[in-house]
Structure formats: C-alpha cells, structure tokens
Structure 1
C-alpha cells in the first residue's frame, strides 16, 4: 500500500521512507482529487504519505507528519481556499520549506487548487494572516505567524500547477504531476541524493539557500509590507506557474 491514512499509524511508524508527502486541507479539495492523485502515484510505484484527518485533531502538526516530511523526496502542497485556516497545515509548510533549504534533493511542488498563486504569494483573501501576540491566553504568537508568512511566500514563488475554477482537466494535471515526479525520481541516484544539486524549471543550485537567507533577514528587520514589496519587485519575475501544461509567469 503506497498511501497511508490516520488509521494506519503503525504502518507509518515502521515505514522507512516515502517518495512524496501531500499537504492539503480536505475540507476544500475534497477526497476525489487527492485520492486520484495518490492512486496515480501508486500505479507508478511512488509511495505517498497523506493524512489530513489527524491534522484536524489538534492545533499543532503531529510528529508522524514531521517525520514523513523529513523522509520524503517530494512534497506536494495543495493550496486551497481554507488551507491557511489550519495551523497544522501551516506548521507543516514551514517544516517543508526548512527541509528544502538544507536538502538540495528535496523537491517542493505547489498546486494552486482554485486559488490564484498571487493570493498565496501576496497573502490576501483567505491567505491573509492576522498578527498575534504571545500570551498566556493561548495566542499563536508573532514569531510563529511570521514563519508561516515566509513559508507561504517562498512556496508560492516555486513552479507548480494551477487548477482553476473553469474547465481545467484535473485528470490531466494529475497526470502531469505524476510524470514530473517519476522523471525526477529516476534522476536521483541511490545513495547520492544528498550530493545532488536541485535543478527544477527555474532554480540554480545556490538559489534555495540564498533566498531562504535573504527572506529571513529581510522579514525579521523590515515591516511586512516593505518586505513583500521588495521580494515581489526583485524576485517575482523568476517565478513560474504551470497552467494548462505551459510555463507562464504568474499574474498579479
């Protein structure tokens, strides 16, 4: 069995590694898209970890998810309307982007499911995160929210796929995702993945580490509005989104 649910925690704990971790909010995406994606990956012997139900049980991401993120070669992030309403999803996203920053062989693949990439990148609409302050009343805390904002911005600037409201074939997009992962998986030599420099559709080898350093520095020293303006102005032209199987620059 290549995918796992919350009812199979024993299998998760004993499984040594996964090819792909899927981050999603089932409330928006629904079971069909993720289920079809997992089945398509399984047919190509690509092992997947998906477990949305356990994320709903608490406000923090379970340890099993953190372990699966660390072990997986690919992370598929399905951004949807209420993705940012789950703190566990956001914590998982932070972990995914942290792993990407230190592992050159980690591939992060965003899917914009009926939301615009610009909504995630600029953090507007349902992705607008309110400021919180630390306190004994259980507030989330500004530092944690800041990590969410940085992770959302970085992930939204990666190449990915957009599932729009009108007419795009989900089956074709799923097929594209599977083909991409299958191709990249075949290019990763056994026992040499840690030495492989990631090269996806737009990145050069030093780019993830450089961007992570710059964004962390700027977000921590300048107001959020100025930080977002800086990155949108100087780094946005590099980003691309796969729409209808063609690479185009994301629109504002």
Structure 2
C-alpha cells in the first residue's frame, strides 16, 4: 500500500447496531468539538456486499484508528475487513490503533470467545478459510494493544474525555511530513505479530501484581510512554 498524506486525524471503526446512536455518537461529537478531524461512516451498510471503496481510503489517510469492539462487532464482515486494513496500516506505516472494549472483555476479542466465537462459527461455514484466519489474527493483534474497557456503571463521559486528551497529545508528537518517509509493503505478506512492548505489557500484567507491574512500566518506560490502569485495563497515555 502506497503511503499517502493524512486527511483525517481519526478513523472510527464500530458496529452500527451496537454503538452508533450512543457511545460512538458521543465520542464523535467530542472529537469534532476538540478540532480532531474524524471519519465516521454514517451509511447503512448492506449485508453480504464488499467493503465500500471510501472506507479503506479513509483508513489509509488517517493518523489514528479507534476500534470500538462490541457484542456484534465480529458478526459484520465489513467491520472485520476494516480491522484487517487498520492492522495493515499499523504495521506498514505506524498507524496508531486504540481499541475500546464496549461491554465485552478484552479476552473475548483476543481469543474469539462467547459472542465472537458464535460469529466465527457462522463465518467458517460461509467464508473462505484463509480469510477467516486473517480476520482472527487481526482481532488478536488489536486486542493486545493498550486501550479502554467500558463496563456497566463506568462513566462513558469520563472515558471519552480521556480518549480525546490522548489523541490530542499524540497528535502533537506526530511529525507533519511522516508520510514521505514511509516504506511500501506488500499487503499479502503482512503478518500480525505484536510489537515487543505489546508483548511485554501483556506478559507482565498477566503474571505479576498490578502495583508491581505499574512500578515496572513507570520506572523503565517513562517519560516516552506511560501505562496507567483505567477501568480494569491498561489504558494508553501520551
């Protein structure tokens, strides 16, 4: 995929029937009000058809991708195709990917459990096996990244405020002419392996007490990056 200049700050990937009229709508409004140029597809997508041309283009022209995982996210081949393109962008041109787990657990997405398992049972009966495996790898890769988990009782307004602040700070760190230094990569040869830092964070937080894990990251990875616990998970900080 050839490098292109950024037309958008943020691309929103979400399952419309789950979050379009609530969380995503509020998040989009907050981003726009903060002068963060955001792409949100408002069309009703038809089942069974291929992803429209403008969506991959918008992903390629964005600096950030916020992926809102919800109960029915994996039932949509559109969402899964979007996610594959997003992960390709992360690997090929350092697209910053921010996962939001809306009413689902991180591990349900990473390991395709519960509703995600049911969705893939249906996909495997109707979709080419190789494509299904690409979808699975993209989900696993995205779920390992630092993000936010939103559970019942959490303040969505506070979380949205945190997300907007994170994007604003990260925007200030991105060089204006980054695109000119990008390398082209054959998308067919893309593999979805986590970065070293992603692997370390997942390992440490799953094998050591939370307080000790936070001390490790605050000691060795600041000020360049910070890792904070937010709503039961590790949330990205600029």
The bucket for the TM-score relative to the shorter chain is 0.7 to 0.9
RMSD of aligned residue pairs (Cα, Å): 2.9
Q: Which residue of 2 aligns with 1:62?
A: 52
**In structure 1, distance between residues paired with 2:172 and 2:46:** 35
**In structure 1, distance between residues paired with 2:58 and 2:92:** 16
Q: Which residue of 1 aligns with 2:115?
A: 126
28-37 vs 146-155, which deviates more?
28-37
C-alpha contact (below 8 Å) 1:160/1:241 kept by paired residues: no
C-alpha contact (below 8 Å) 2:148/2:234 kept by paired residues: no
Deviation, 1:149, is: 0.2
**In structure 1, distance between residues paired with 2:27 and 2:192:** 34
**In structure 1, distance between residues paired with 2:228 and 2:163:** 13
Deviation, 1:40, is: 0.8
C-alpha contact (below 8 Å) 2:67/2:99 kept by paired residues: yes
**In structure 1, distance between residues paired with 2:49 and 2:175:** 38
**1:158 and 2:145 matched:** yes
Deviation, 1:152, is: 0.3
**1:189 and 2:155 matched:** no
**TM-score, with normalisation over the residues of structure 1?**
0.70
**In structure 2, distance between residues paired with 1:26 and 1:214:** 26
The secondary structure found in structure 1 opposite 2:134 is helix
Q: 1:53 aligns with which of 43, 46, 65?
A: 43
Can you list the C-alpha shifts for 1:52-71, whole angstroms capped at 9, x where unaligned? 53434543211100000000
Q: Which residue of 1 aligns with 2:97?
A: 108
Q: Which residue of 1 aligns with 2:76?
A: 86
**1:99 and 2:94 matched:** no
**In structure 2, distance between residues paired with 1:234 and 1:192:** 27
Q: 2:18 aligns with which of 17, 28, 44?
A: 28
**Aligned length, in residue pairs:** 196
The secondary structure found in structure 2 opposite 1:153 is helix
**1:237 and 2:192 matched:** no
Deviation, 1:73, is: 0.4
The secondary structure found in structure 2 opposite 1:81 is coil
**In structure 1, distance between residues paired with 2:192 and 2:14:** 27
The secondary structure found in structure 2 opposite 1:21 is strand
Higher relative contact order (CA 8 A, sep 6+): 2
The secondary structure found in structure 1 opposite 2:11 is strand
C-alpha contact (below 8 Å) 1:159/1:242 kept by paired residues: no
Deviation, 1:243, is: 2.7
Higher strand content, 1 or 2: 2
Deviation, 1:126, is: 1.1
**In structure 2, distance between residues paired with 1:173 and 1:120:** 20
